Chains A and B, each alone.
Chain A
Amino acid sequence: MPSWQDFQPFIVTGLALGGVYSLSGVGMVVLYRTTGVLNLAFGAVGAMGAFIAWSLINTLSWPAALAYLACVGFGAAISLLYGMLTGPSLAGRDPLVKAAATIGLALMLLGAMSWIWSDKARSMVLPTTNWQYSVGEVQINWTQIIALALGVFVTLATAAFLRRTGLGTAMRALANDREITAALGVPVRRVEATTWLVSGALAGGAGLLLSNLVGLDAATLTFLVISSLAAALIARLRSLVVTLLAGVVIGLVNAMATPIFSISSYRDMTPFVLAAVALLFLARHQQISFARRSR
């Protein structure tokens, strides 16, 4: 059994990764609750944003800050575009169909990424990664701090936003019942558009952070969405705070298993196993009912 010292660096990486999982998880949960779309292209959108930022910096030599903004902007734009184009035709359909449609978007983005940026390996290093300091024997950089802080901040801010503002109330109403909300005079399409925009921006931000923390690789970043999805699933696609906690726990457990030799190579199973167990546990009393299924 490794000593406490061996775990310390992995606590930091775990917390940072967990922060990004939470960030993505919250983005997915809010979108799902408001529009009914579980966006499986969340990772692909962020990854493409990160690639665009990389190209802007390294080939067009844009200032870094502007390129990062472009990444977030791309995420927001492509998500909004997708939401507006597919929203009306898919509005009344089963959540499963809506989720399957986002697989279409994910595949298109993945194909485009591996086509355009396939020639060589790339890496993205945010300037904040170079600002390091040590606590005890552990090196911490600002990217990791930002990742965790952003996860916590976005969760709390979103929760407060949903509770306090008019738009937030409209979003919660939509999550309850789309038809009744529309009948009450809430501009449904506009509220949904806003949600897509914000969720897409979160995807861009998460992609940017992950490209630094994990690596700039199209397939990896696209399928990392499954880990964030696990956090959202543990929260039953419902609670933002549980999503945050689940994301951090997944990140932590995953990273902390690294120094334990016997389970080290199985550590990537963490999100899958936790989500599967949680889902099965939560569904243990579920029965077929005639009632309309709530989201």
Chain B
Amino acid sequence: MRVTRPRIRVRHPATAVVLLLVVLLAMPQALSTYWIDVLTAVAIYSVVALGLGLLMGRVGLVSLGQIAVLALGAWVAARLDFATSIPFPLVLLIAGTITMVLGTLVGLPALRLSGLYLALITLMLAGAITVVLTTTNFPNGGPGFLGHTESSFGNPAVRRPGIAGGDAAYFRYTVIVAALMFTLVFWHVHSRPGRAWAAIRQSEPAALAAGVNITTYKLWAWALASFVTGVAGGLLAGSVGKLYTYQFPTRDSIILLAVVLMGGIYNLWGAVVAGALMKLLPALLDNWGLPPDLLIILFGAGVLQVLLTAPGGLAGQVPKDLARLGQRLATLSGRRAPEGEAP
């Protein structure tokens, strides 16, 4: 049994670095505060998409509850922020870690289920988390464990790091943290866990026969995805300052799945595309005076188009089928499609 290496590589590391520098240095100068805020959201949701893309593209697990995980991370970060005065990077790290632990605790029993059932149980758990958050609300400087107060005057916003108080500075800060998360995932994908995930995705029995510990590596992917999503939650808390439950609707989990599929799950760039689809496109549409509902229709059509025009594929190999979609979009966006994807 040949354990294939993961196929996706960042082909032009220099491109990535130059792009990052341009984004960091030029964009905040050229854009208004509104667009900087939009781009901050794009960076944050790219990290969320990265987590889901990792699960779907690498391991073949589908989660329909990532927005609930994001909300969890944001909750923890906000709570820490009001309760302590530890530095912001530490807040992000702890928020990521706690989200990771919670995600793993949930994942451990859920990973027994496969495919459709796993996807549905994440949908159920996300629904449950949303109900709890609707009741407890987000911390806003109030007393007690929940840290929520009903009074709406003079509540402090979640504090931002000292070096990144302004919107432009916080945007740069967010992009750097997001780049770190991408690097973390990139590094995982290109080392031992990445190879194990590739084996699991292709065939669980074969991976088992090749000596891959399936439970450990699935759980590892789950933990990593939860961690980056938790960190993204922390970034979001700092970005918006005041958190409300309506910022994390169940429909966003579904839309996230759509944009991640459209963005392409086999390429780390796909996560950036997904983030832009989810947060930049609505802002553009709004700017052009078009109703945002058009976008939901577009996403729906995008999912269908993506799943239907992919060739029949090998039965049961969801990730392989979905990969064609990633390639297609990657090709459309002018990037070279990874070779050797066809069976």
Contact = CB atoms under 8 A, between A and B. Distances in A.
B293 interface: yes
Prevailing SS type, chain A contact patch: helix
Contacts of A96: 62, 115-116, 119, 318
Contacts of A183: none
Interface string A241-281: 00000000000000000000000011011011101100110
A107 B258 contact: yes
Contacts, number: 164
A250 to B, nearest CB: 12
A197 to B, nearest CB: 20
Contacts of B112: 280, 283-284, 286
A265 B128 contact: no
B293 A103 contact: no
Interface stretch (A67-75, A84-92, A156-164): A84-92
Contacts of B313: 92-93
B254 A106 contact: yes
Contacts of A268: 131
Contact of A288 (B205, B257, B315): B205
Given A115-B291, A230-B124, A279-B113, A103 B251 contact: no
Nearest to B207: A288
B132 interface: yes
B210 interface: no
A86 B131 contact: no
> B interface, how many residues as a size bin?
35 or more
Contact of B315 (A93, A266, A283): A93
B128 A95 contact: no
Interface string B202-234: 001100100000100000000000000000000
B308 A111 contact: no
Contacts of B303: 100-101, 103-104, 107
A26 interface: no
Interface string A106-119: 11111110110010
Contacts of A100: 62, 257, 261, 303, 307
Contact of B258 (A104, A229, A272, A284): A104
B4 interface: no
Most buried by A among B110, B124, B255, B293: B124
A101 B304 contact: yes
A52 interface: no
Contact of A89 (B291, B295, B312): B312
B123 interface: yes
A94 B319 CA distance: 10
B125 A104 contact: no
A99 interface: yes
Most buried by B among A101, A106, A272, A286: A272
A245 B116 CA distance: 23
Prevailing SS type, chain B contact patch: helix
Interface in B311-341: 312-313, 315-318, 321-322
A4 interface: no
B161 interface: no
Interface in B292-315: 293-304, 307-308, 312-313, 315
Contacts of A115: 291, 293-294, 297
Contacts of A101: 303-304, 307-308
B149 interface: no
Interface residues of A, number: 51
A280 B208 CA distance: 23
Interface in B257-291: 257-258, 261, 291
Most buried by B among A100, A118, A269: A100
A148 interface: no
Contacts of B300: 103-111
A290 interface: yes
B250 interface: yes
B291 A93 contact: no
B128 A103 contact: no
B120 interface: yes
B297 A111 contact: yes
Contacts of A269: 127-128, 131-132
A93 B321 contact: yes
Most buried by A among B116, B132, B313: B116
B318 A97 contact: yes
Contact of A118 (B255, B293, B304): B293
A223 interface: yes
Contacts of B132: 266, 269
Nearest to A292: B316
A275 B116 contact: no
A110 B299 CA distance: 11
A219 interface: yes
27 contacts: A94-B116, A94-B315, A94-B321, A96-B318, A103-B254, A103-B258, A104-B300, A105-B304, A108-B296, A110-B296, A112-B293, A115-B291, A115-B294, A219-B249, A223-B250, A233-B117, A266-B135, A271-B124, A272-B125, A272-B128, A273-B128, A275-B121, A279-B117, A279-B124, A283-B112, A283-B117, A288-B208
